[in-house]
Structure formats: structure tokens, C-alpha cells
Structure 1
Amino acid sequence: MVFKRLPGALAVGGPTVDTVLDPGAARPGGVLSGRVDLVGGPGGHDVEHVALELVARVGASPAGPGDGGDEVAFGRHTAGGAFRLAAGERHSVPFSVPLPWETPVTELPGRTPDVALGVRTELAAAGTTGRGDPDPLAVTPLPAQEAVLGALGQLGFGLRSAGLEYGRIGGTGQRLPFRQEIELSPPPRYADHVNEIELTFLALPGALEVVLEADKRGGPCSDGHDALSRYTVPHDGPAGPLDWNALVDGWVRELVEHRASYGSHAVYGHDGGHLSVPRAG
């Protein structure tokens, strides 16, 4: 345990705080549980509330999650409050914080993403508020996210970066003011057609939206351009056996074959609908 005093008016003579997350990584749309352990300061305190805030580093440099960017709060939960913490008294406040479905993932196959998520503890007592530094938060992909990423790896795509960027994708159910962009380098079979492919997962309560954007190379008589398509699958994938490699390869081939003359409607050619998917034999 690492007890610490929170910065602010509570720092001098205030209680010390240690936030302990339960073992294991969380998942988007799941619950983050743990406890906040407190030890009363010399004079004791009337605690008004204990709160947890979810924070993300958005717009950080690809050089690393701690290199620049803005700290953005994307969730808040009051764990408890209105109790007397006597001098030297130990008290624990358990919590269960629901994670938004669009919570970025911090663990990807074979790479640590350029993503910094954290849980910040807030303590209010005697009319003052103290907030600590964020404790690191680990988030693993949903089963369908894992399947899509695994299929892209099997198809030869390489992971370049997976940072957080401001902005919303039109025509989707996106709620947070930022999104996770996973940049992928193409395998040789697609290298002549695209510079890279950007993947964004937008999870909803009932399904997962997969947004693919291709930075397409120009030809001798044409400029390069972007093509974008959107697909929807259940969180656990469609029922029954599924050839994810064939499914995702079909998405990529369709994306690469987009033409600029299609216009914006074709960019969202699968406007929120579920696709038929090939079954494994």
C-alpha cells in the first residue's frame, strides 16, 4: 500500500489516501472495482464525499503517452461520503465504477498502446477538496475487438500506434469527445494501394462498431485520398463458428476498392446495419 496526502487544502494535516484497484484488467462497458483506504490526520475530519474520476491523456505525441496531450475526464463516480474520520482511524470505502463502452483499450496483442488511462481519487472534507494523481488503469479489449485485431495480425497488418485523438466520427453512435485511433501498416498485398489503415472501435451497449479508414495512394493520373467504411458486429461475435480472417479480409478489400467517385454515402455504405458474415466450414 502507498498512502499519500492529496494535493490541495487537505494536504497539510489531512488524511492519507490509498486507492487499490481489484486485480485484473477491466473491459469497456464493464465494472472497475476496488477500494479507497484512508487514515485520519492528526485532527480528524468530517468527510463529505469520496469520488473517483476516469481520465485519459488525449492528443499525446506518438513518442509516448506521457509526452504532451491533454488530461480529459470521461467518467465520474461518487463512492461514498458523509462520515467522520477520527485522528489515526483507518477506514475503507469500496467502489464499483461503470466504465463507458467507448473506454479505450490499453492492452493490444504484441504491443503496449500509446494510451494513458487513470483513476483519480477525490476527497472532500471541511469545505475543501483534494485530488490525487491518477492511478494507472488497464483495459483489455472486448472479445470482438480481440478477434478483429487478431485477424488483422494474421492478414499481415502491423501495429504502428494506438493513440487517442479529439473528434467524433459522423454517422456513428460515438459519445465521448475523443476516440482511439489504431494505425496499421499494410501487408505487401495492399502496400501498393494504401499507405496505412486506421481502425477505430466504437462499442455500444448492444454491439461493436468497427470503423476502417484507408489512406489510399495516388496513381500516375490521380491523387491519393481517404476511404472510410463502417461495420457492426455483436460484442462476442455472431453466434456459431466464424472465420474472422475471411470476414475482416473482406472488409479490407471492400475498403481498398472504394473509389473517390462513390461520394460520402459510400463512405458509410453500411450505415449502422449488421453485415452478413461468412461461416467457417
Structure 2
Amino acid sequence: MVFKKMLGAFGVGGPSVDTVLSNPNTRPGLMLGGQVNLTGGSHDVEIDHITVGLVTRAEIDGAEEEYDALVEFHRVQVAGGLHLREGQQLSLPLQVAMPWETPVTDLYGQHLHGMTMGLRTEVAIRGAVDKGDLDPVYVHPLPVQERILEAFGRLGFGFKGADLERGHISGLHQSLPFYQEVEYYAAPQYAHTVNEVELTFVANEHGVDVVLEFDKRGGMFTSGHDSYGRYHAAHADADRVDWAAQVDGWVREALDGYQSLHAGHGYAPPAQGYGTPGYPPPPPGYGQPGYGHAGHGHPGGHYKEEHHERHGGPGMGAVAAGVVGGAALGFAGGMVADEVFDSFGDEEGGDEEA
């Protein structure tokens, strides 16, 4: 923050904390660096530990309705067992490895509406914990994620919004307790079949799994339903693939595959993916009827299961360099350059879900 925040839990004359990030712009898989600056108060104190945690907002299914809650999803200890003297100033380095599954909050220098992300500093003095500082973090997409998002815009999909859903996606390994949904209005060439599309990335050090969920239109004698597709994209292929053509193929395959699957036809693997250079070996069942299409509704293999309960990576490069305008990629009207932390309200000092 730009000011030192007094640690209110320790009363007047207590120490203050000011966390400064070297660069609040980052990507999944990168290190977020900075320092925690402590200033002693009017008396000596013993600090049990100082930790920082990544926090965001996620949608949670309650007993009666859905609600948003502040969720801490990654925590790192900065220091422990410190003696802070009266008036003493300490500067402690911090490094946070951004999880590969960290959701995207920004694209082309604009904030992705519906997303919030912050780094919260906690100071514990003799067992009393004070959430003393909250700093915004701006997460930009990995190169392959960026190319896929670009492709949706180039194909004419219109950005609707983004949010985080508490839960897990069936059949995929997730380390975080939520997944991000990027929602689009259907492009004109698919509008006769689809109302909306939801895009989810689940990334790791090798690439990203791409999950597409389609809200399909109903016919004269049939009701609408959801259909699904799941694909893989390698980090190494970010600049090797015609992503507009690839995404168009994914969309058409997922929509056609649902009907073919239920008509008793086999499943055709995508033109680019498992088994081609730069991709890992195919998982069990790949190429068999039903792989990548989980049907619709509950039960019966819906991809998204609600639950209540790594390091390195590509360099930042030209993060947030507006090489391609957001309006041309379907993001006009859906992205805002507002103050990200307005949506946190007064909860930064309250409880969170671990």
C-alpha cells in the first residue's frame, strides 16, 4: 500500500506494516516479489509470525441461495520469531509462487469485470493476528490462454463476464478449491444453436486443459440443454497454432459431438491435441465414444462438481501491452478500469474461508 497501516488489534502505539510489491502484475506460474516493511510502535513486541496470502472472491452454493465469499487460496510465511524494538524499522523480502491455476483478472491493460485478487499481510504478535495490509494483484493470462481468449473474440463471441465457482471439475486434477468461468454470448455463426458459452482453464506446468460449456437453444419440440467439450493446449504451441481455426473446430466438434454421441456414433479426436508434437500422451479413454463430452445435468457426468469444503513458467514479456484492442476481441463493455478493491468492501479485516 502507499501508506503504513496501523495494526489495529494491538492498540494505539502498536507497530505498523506496509507491504510493497515489486510489480503487482503477474501471471500463473511466476514469482510475485516484494517486501514487508515493519515499523515498531511505542514499545517492544514479539512477533510470532508474518504471513501473506492470496485472496479472491468466489461464488459458493449456500443452503438456500448462492453468495460470494472471500477465499484465501495460497499462503506463504515471510518470517517468524522476530523481536521488534520500539521505533525499529525492518524490511523483510517476500516471494510468492503464483499457483498455475490462479484465475486471470486482467487482459490488454483492462480489468476483467467480476474478478478481484489481492495479497493480504497478516502479523501475529503473541497469538493475536491482525490482517494489516491488502494489496491488489493483477493476474494476466499465460500466452496460450491469451491466444485462446483472442480467438474467441476474433470469432465474434461477446464477453459477458467472469466469476469463480467453488468446486471441482470432474476428471481434472485441481489444486485450488474453485475454477474460473469466462462467459461469452454466442458468435453469430453459432447463435442458431447456442445461447452462451462458458470457458474454463485448468493450467499446469505443461499446458492448459480447456473446458467449454454450451447453453444450447431448444427446438420447436425440444427443450434447451447444456453440452460440454474438453481439450488440451500445450504452452509450447502458443505461437504455433491457428487458434481461431482451432477454437472454431472445438466449438463445432463439441456441439456436433453431443448429438452424435447420443445418436450412437463414435467420437472423433480434434485435429490438434493429444498425440501431436508438444502435447502429452492421451489419457485413458481418449478417442473412445464419450470422451470429452460429459452429457448434461446431474447426475450423469456433469463436468463441474460442487464441493463445500509450483514454480517457474513463461516470462512476463509484454504483459498488458495492448497489441490488439479489447473491443476487437469481444471485450467491449465487459471490462472496466475501476478500483479493483471496491468489491472487497470492509471484509479485508474480517473472516475468510480457507
User: Taking structure 2 as the reference length, what is the TM-score of the superposition?
Assistant: 0.70
Deviation at 1:16, TM superposition (A): 0.3
SS in 2 for 1:230: strand
The residue that corresponds to 1:97 in the other structure is 96
The residue that corresponds to 2:148 in the other structure is 148
The 5 A counterparts of 1:175-194 are 175-194=175-194
* Aligned 8 A contact 1:166 1:177 in 2: yes
The 5 A counterparts of 1:8-87 are 8=9, 10-59=10-59, 69-87=68-86
Q: 1:12-49 CA deviation, whole Å, 9 max, x = no partner? A: 33210001111251111221111110100100212221
Q: CA 1:274–1:174 in 2, change beyond 3 Å: closer, same or farther?
A: farther
* Aligned 8 A contact 2:196 2:214 in 1: yes
SS in 2 for 1:59: strand
* Percent of aligned pairs with the same amino acid: 44
Q: 1:155-203 CA deviation, whole Å, 9 max, x = no partner? A: 1111100111112110112222211100011111111110000000100
* Aligned 8 A contact 2:23 2:33 in 1: no
* Aligned 8 A contact 2:47 2:125 in 1: yes
Q: CA 1:25–1:92 in 2, change beyond 3 Å: closer, same or farther?
A: same
Q: Please tell me whether residue 108 in structure 1 is matched to residue 103 in structure 2.
A: no
SS in 1 for 2:153: helix
Q: 1:104-142 CA deviation, whole Å, 9 max, x = no partner? A: 111134852211111110111233221135321110000
* Aligned 8 A contact 2:55 2:119 in 1: yes
**Greater mean alpha carbon deviation, residues 209-218 or residues 254-263:** 254-263
CA distance in 1, matches of 2:165, 2:232: 22
**Greater mean alpha carbon deviation, residues 24-33 or residues 85-94:** 24-33
CA distance in 2, matches of 1:270, 1:80: 50
CA distance in 2, matches of 1:56, 1:24: 15
CA distance in 1, matches of 2:184, 2:109: 13
Q: CA 1:98–1:208 in 2, change beyond 3 Å: closer, same or farther?
A: same
* Aligned 8 A contact 1:143 1:236 in 2: no
AA at the equivalent of 2:81: A
Q: CA 1:117–1:11 in 2, change beyond 3 Å: closer, same or farther?
A: farther
CA distance in 1, matches of 2:150, 2:175: 26
RMSD: 2.6
CA distance in 2, matches of 1:220, 1:157: 25
Q: Please tell me whether residue 6 in structure 1 is matched to residue 7 in structure 2.
A: yes
CA distance in 2, matches of 1:174, 1:11: 41
Deviation at 1:234, TM superposition (A): 1.3
SS in 2 for 1:100: coil
AA at the equivalent of 2:79: G
Unaligned runs of 5+ in 2: 61-66, 278-354
**Bigger relative contact order, structure 1 or 2, given CA contacts below 8 A and separation 6+?**
2
Q: CA 1:110–1:158 in 2, change beyond 3 Å: closer, same or farther?
A: farther
AA at the equivalent of 1:76: R
The residue that corresponds to 1:64 in the other structure is none
The 5 A counterparts of 1:79-228 are 79-109=78-108, 112-113=111-112, 114-132=114-132, 134-228=134-228
Count matched residues. 266
AA at the equivalent of 2:115: V
* Aligned 8 A contact 1:199 1:210 in 2: yes
SS in 2 for 1:69: strand
SS in 2 for 1:124: strand
CA distance in 1, matches of 2:268, 2:110: 32
CA distance in 2, matches of 1:44, 1:87: 5
